[in-house]
Amino acid sequence: MRNDMKALAKTKPEVGLWMEHRPVPEIGPDDVLIRIRKTGICGTDIHIWNWDDWAARTVPVGLVTGHEFAGEIVEIGRNVEGLAIGQRCSGEGHLIGKQSRQSRAGKFHLDPATRGIGVNEQGAFAEYLRLPAFNVVPLPDEIDDEIGAILDPLGNAVHTALSFDLVGEDVLITGAGPIGIMAAAVARHVGARHVVITDINQDRLDLAARVTDVVPVNVATQDLRAVEGALKMREGFDVGMEMSGSQAALDQMVETMVMGGRIAMLGIPPGKSPVDWSRIVFKAITIKGVYGREIFETWYKMIAMLENGLDIRRIITHRLPVDRFAEGFEVMRSGKSGKVVLDWN
Ligand code: ZN
């Protein structure tokens, strides 16, 4: 193995990312070293590329970015059991502490000391990634590297979608980004009746309809109430998934929910946003904030569903060799893409 690797890093505090040579990470006794094969570009990476306020506050200059990956284990720390060299894997990018009450209760995704690879710690946009063995998720043969590389965002979608019982329910998803679209596919897979997805970006709505059996609604030009009528829904949506971070979308969701409806929120509003609480109280609506993936229940469920026919492959709209990473970021920033996967082979 070489001791020098290619890595995509935030070298300067300005717009962009730069391909650099870095030393291959050294692993500790509880870590593995992963040879990265494919990576996905996330909205988070776009914030880091753009160097917006959040990124400038959060990401240390010099950091190797990226957290969506699939690869192969090439080295194993001396304490590690149950993993083998040559094992294909993806992994949970949230590095958790083990001291908090939630962590000790086994709710690892709620640990307040969580640090993210590619955000706070050295990331996966590199030929090699060091990862605690605890975070490794082995991939079965049925899940290839490009799907393995998008299990992180699929996990967000699965975590959100499985927050509430969807069997026979009418579901509204606001925001047709890749996670919203994958959540729609999951809702169909687990037996929702109608799944409606809204956005104001027609390209994304068209993509949603190509990925899964969903009713796309452009709320800039179409009336959501009329769509409900056409679907013969009588009292409104049973379950909502807010994926856009848009105030208008959340308002419309609350407006169109049934009494006692349930909303899972993954979208992040840009700042504080006003909420009409009285409407939420009078409609007896339950709201759940969703963060990350349940470690490792979400991973178990999504791999099981993929093995059981959940098909989200068409969400990948662009496949590029890593040397063309700038094109990948450009198409993501244009809003005219689904998932963009970079090939590190
Ligand atoms: Zn991500």
Report the alpha-carbon distance of residue 22 to residue 344 in Å, rounded.
Answer: 15
For residue 34, is pLDDT > 80? Answer: yes
67 is catalytic: no
Residue with tokens 């963060």: 291
Share of the chain above pLDDT 70, in %: 99
Cα 221 to middle of ligand 1, angstroms: 30
The secondary element (H helix, E strand) that includes residue 50 is helix 43-50
Cα 127 to middle of ligand 1, angstroms: 18
Residue pair 168/191 in contact by the 8 Å Cβ criterion: yes
Cα 226 to middle of ligand 1, angstroms: 34
- pLDDT of 234: 86
Any idea where the domains of the chain sit in the sequence? 4-150+312-343, 155-289
Cα 124 to middle of ligand 1, angstroms: 11
Helix 178-189 and helix 151-161: axis angle, to 10°?
60
47 is catalytic: yes
For 188-238, the pLDDT digits (tens) are 999 999 999 999 999 999 999 999 999 999 999 999 999 999 999 989 999
pTM: 0.96
For 53-88, the pLDDT digits (tens) are 999 999 999 999 999 999 999 999 999 999 999 999
Cα 43 to middle of ligand 1, angstroms: 6
Cα 153 to middle of ligand 1, angstroms: 5
Catalytic member of 39, 44, 65, 198: 44
Of 1.10.260.40, 3.40.50.12140, 3.40.50.300, 3.90.180.10, the CATH number of 4-150+312-343 is 3.90.180.10
Cα 149 to middle of ligand 1, angstroms: 10
CATH topology of domain 155-289: Rossmann fold (3.40.50)
Catalytic member of 11, 21, 47, 317: 47
Report the alpha-carbon distance of residue 131 to residue 76 in Å, rounded.
Answer: 10
